[in-house]
Structure 1
Amino acid sequence: MLIAPSRGEVPAASRLDEIISRGTLRVGLTGDYAPFSSFDAATSGFSGFDVEMAQSLGEALGVKVEFVRTSWPKLASDFAADQFDVAMGGISITLDRQKKGLFSTPIMREGKTPIARCADKERFGTLAEIDQPGVRVIVNPGGTNERFARARIKQAEIKLYPDNTKIFDEIAEGRADLMMTVSSETRYQQKRHPGVLCAVHPETPFDFAEKAYWLQRDMALKAFVDQWLHILRENGGYAAINQRWFN
């Protein structure tokens, strides 16, 4: 049975209304996950695929974009503390995150796959080949990469490395053997380290994952973001931004 609102009752303002009234969209980014988001300490500025996407969303809303720096270990607590309206920058959909907020329609489908020195590419095609004594698997702490590795690696060494901007140099310079991360990142890092690092079967990852934008729980905001994404895909805006950062 539907109950009509009382006469004169004012409906609660949505998060979408609040953002428009405030004139600012607060976007959480880690700034250490190229090409999704990178932070330049010299300029205190962000760049990357999701930085451009955030600016497009801000334009659609008619508001300014305020970037809020977070980190993978603090992402969930910062989100719960309402430090930002939306988390962007390569966020994977997880059920734990879904409990705390809402996800937009997915922006990318991929999964975890290895990246290793090109000379070792054929050694690490399967999880069984990776999970061997003496193999050094490097991971950044606090995100889905660490959770994936800890769930599947029992014999190989797991090395935590806190600086996600330099973690691939550890592999290139021989201090680690491989990292398992999403296929889009392995392709990007392969381009950044030509002939040195190679993505291992990025077209057939070990698991299924999707990336999306993690929104504070508000259906009006989710509906707007989903419609913006739909229009951006149809008018070519998404393809143009994707081409600049991934191709």
Structure 2
Amino acid sequence: MKKLTALLLISALSVGALVGCGSSDSAKPAEGAQTASTEGEGTSAEATTFDEIKANGYITFATEGTYAPYSYHDEDDKLVGFDVEVAQAVAEKLGVEARFTETQWDGIIAGLDAKKYDAIANQVSITEERQQKYLFSEPYTYAYGAVVVKGDNDSISSFEDLDGKDVALTVTSNWAEVAESYGGTIVSTSGFSESIQLVIQGRADATVNDNVTFLDFKANQPDADVKIVATSDEATESAILIRQGDDDLQAAINDALKELRDDGTLKSISEKYFGEDITSPN
């Protein structure tokens, strides 16, 4: 699994490029949302971000708002999603209100640098490069590479079994590189939806993606005749991103996440959106 682990690290670094969408380069506040001031009224110049959050009574999270099932608008145009509910639960533990600023992925971290919001809750993968410049909370999402086959397929039970098999994938994806490293022959598709359909139709033996993408698919199409037969040993971890220097806010968010994990809230939110718990490592 060493070569798969290395490739998964590459995949983690490219997650941001895959999830960004929208047409505006500027941050767009959600209806009713406000941007937290960097100097709350009545606070001293020495006040920390967390001091200001407590004084103001709210914490502002950045999120895309166009990235289902993590952060999106429902049929009533209400901002909802897995990351949204996790952020709201964290805020409740902090004793404040959660407010959200919606912005494109390609500008979301720059907005944190500019202090347009206090933190980012948008499936930000933990990478060494980011850890040099920012603080992360403890992970609240663990995604593993997964081999997906048709329900009656008993010939594939591991990544190694992809050798000589037809694997439906986008040829430019990191997952195609993973499949090819195990000897798989790529059947080119436009994305996961087409890949999974080729597997169901028997026109490909398997596809490879992260297990969370598959769980989201199954949550929406529970009767689809496909299954996961193997997962990677290493996970891509996602967490709340915080500015360097906001150590007290990081500690408070970590305490909140621990309470939410211990009382079952994180698991409950995960099962609502994915049917399984993706908030703890396998």
Q: How many Å separate the matches in 2 of 1:210 and 1:49?
A: 15
Q: Matches of residues 206-221 of structure 1 in structure 2 within 5 Å?
A: 207-217=234-244, 218-221=246-249
- Counterpart in the other structure of 1:100: 133
Q: Give the secondary structure class of the aligned counterpart of 1:68.
A: strand
Match of 1:13 among 44, 47, 65: 47
- Counterpart in the other structure of 1:90: 123
- Counterpart in the other structure of 2:170: 138
Q: How many Å separate the matches in 2 of 1:193 and 1:68?
A: 31
Q: CA deviation at 1:115?
A: 4.5
Distance change >3 Å, CA 240–CA 196, structure 1 → 2 = closer
Q: CA deviation at 1:156?
A: 4.4
Matched, 1:242 2:242: no
Q: How many Å separate the matches in 2 of 1:119 and 1:39?
A: 36
Match of 1:185 among 208, 213, 216: 213
Q: How many Å separate the matches in 2 of 1:86 and 1:104?
A: 10
Distance change >3 Å, CA 186–CA 227, structure 1 → 2 = same
Distance change >3 Å, CA 173–CA 111, structure 1 → 2 = closer
**5+ long unaligned stretches in structure 1:** 1-9, 162-166
Q: Matches of residues 160-171 of structure 1 in structure 2 within 5 Å?
A: 168-171=192-195
Distance change >3 Å, CA 131–CA 58, structure 1 → 2 = farther
Indicate conservation of the 8 Å contact 2:61/2:99, yes or no. yes
One-letter amino acid matched to 1:87? I
Indicate conservation of the 8 Å contact 2:168/2:195, yes or no. no
TM-score (norm 2): 0.61
Q: How many Å separate the matches in 2 of 1:136 and 1:182?
A: 14
**Higher mean C-alpha deviation, range 71-80 or range 167-176:** 167-176
**5+ long unaligned stretches in structure 2:** 1-43, 276-282
**Higher mean C-alpha deviation, range 182-191 or range 167-176:** 167-176
Distance change >3 Å, CA 120–CA 97, structure 1 → 2 = farther
Aligned residues: 223
TM-score (norm 1): 0.68
Aligned identity (percent) is 24
- Counterpart in the other structure of 1:7: none
Distance change >3 Å, CA 153–CA 179, structure 1 → 2 = closer
Distance change >3 Å, CA 21–CA 94, structure 1 → 2 = same
Q: How many Å separate the matches in 2 of 1:73 and 1:115?
A: 30
Match of 1:50 among 71, 74, 83: 83
What do the CA deviations read for 1:62-109 (whole angstroms, capped 9, x no partner)? Answer: 332222223444444444344432222433211222223111112243
Q: CA deviation at 1:151?
A: 6.2
**Higher mean C-alpha deviation, range 11-20 or range 175-184:** 175-184
Q: How many Å separate the matches in 2 of 1:197 and 1:71?
A: 35
Q: CA deviation at 1:219?
A: 0.2
